[in-house]
Structure 1
């Protein structure tokens, strides 16, 4: 069985050799441009890894992995448009390099191509795979909408936050693993627990992102910490603090949420409030809880025929990362 790095190399080679289309030029140039921006390709590689975990060569899942990567990049193009983001991985976003209309249309084309590649799976599992994939497309869109809605609300609950991060990010990790498992020959329980592994690991990963944004080492994270605090983003830290802060802590937090002119002071003050009211400890506990749920699902996969060694190594890497 190959490890994550070997499967990463396999997928990168395969996608670099693909020609997804040439004409019209302004449709397919942006298509290839964003695919060539790089990235770890974790979602398609996890599909390949899940396939091999259940005893089938990763090459059997390559078309589905292509579909997963195309779906992910479709979401990046459209997210960049909605966020009006100028850069993606240090280079111009598609809508900045071309224009808004080209960005929308090339993203749509990428979504169409993703379904085309997913449809190449074996007929015996097509219905199951297509159901997982199409449901995930809708959930990603729902997650993005909730994220935008939360910008205008101060009463976001933890349950709403968890649902948003799961739909926006974690469901595609889960779907990648479930689709790979189905192609690999997993039974119904093995496939479902592969999904639960990805869903819960992705949730733990997103909570850790909240913590790293506020308390990470800027040199390792690669950006100035506190961006979420400055934008009043509804992270698990802020949601917990708004619910549990009392007295002076609550008054100070609410005052800082209205402050836009003292960025360094705001970040420092809000971080201290998070520490005092127990929001940091709480977030760490929730991160740990979802990580344990992921490992429990992985143990279930093992009992249903999967070799989980490499998947467990990946989970440990993700959990212990500091950037």
Structure 2
């Protein structure tokens, strides 16, 4: 009894997913800003001071914003309420930080291309993370933490179970990848519907967005199945990113082949494939990372123990965690 009372209370799943998304965006933005800062420093002696100093200040400022986002994501995962408020402000200023780094005026921004680019994926991820951390379970948890009230006890039998860290990481990756893929698919289908009368071949883009939609649905379903240690989930998690990346490459090849001879993409065919995989294919790369995690030794042991028959004499079987959502 004493051990149950002293056990730390689990942070709600929606809050943990939000913290994971913010941590990923913080790391990604930190690396992106660092590359920009290195470029500014490299050309510091060849450009006028009036241009160099604002560029340096902007690079340092964006670096500080993304580093702070990573730190606040860790605090959010520990239930620190002010971190949620600051991250909400970050979600509002993130587009400004991106576009003010030398981008065109708002009226001249090619929004269709931006929404389907890595920049659009980052902004969509920040929006999804913000929504998750304001959902009722997260709000109730943070309110009780602020008031110093104890959390209600977990249901018997399920509260003591914990996933091994590879499976917990796989669940987070699948949920985040599924949400981002769903947002990309919805935006892509909406923009595609507006270009149907332009005479361009819609088949490559349609294949691309349908692939992302299918991957989103599969990732979200498999996240729940992996959390419940369903044996079939590991095979589906492994196949989906491979099949999705294959279809994405085919869509890119079809799109490039349908271009006129004088409008080849920068970098040629390999460059177009790489750009597609690193932008629209980010959710599939996240699913591939989850596929690696579900086959690690700790994950295999958990699946094997969970598949044993329910027998009180089996004492080394890991109890299943509560279902999320």
Scaled by the length of structure 2, the TM-score of the pair is 0.36
Larger CA Rg, structure 1 vs 2: 2
Scaled by the length of structure 1, the TM-score of the pair is 0.36
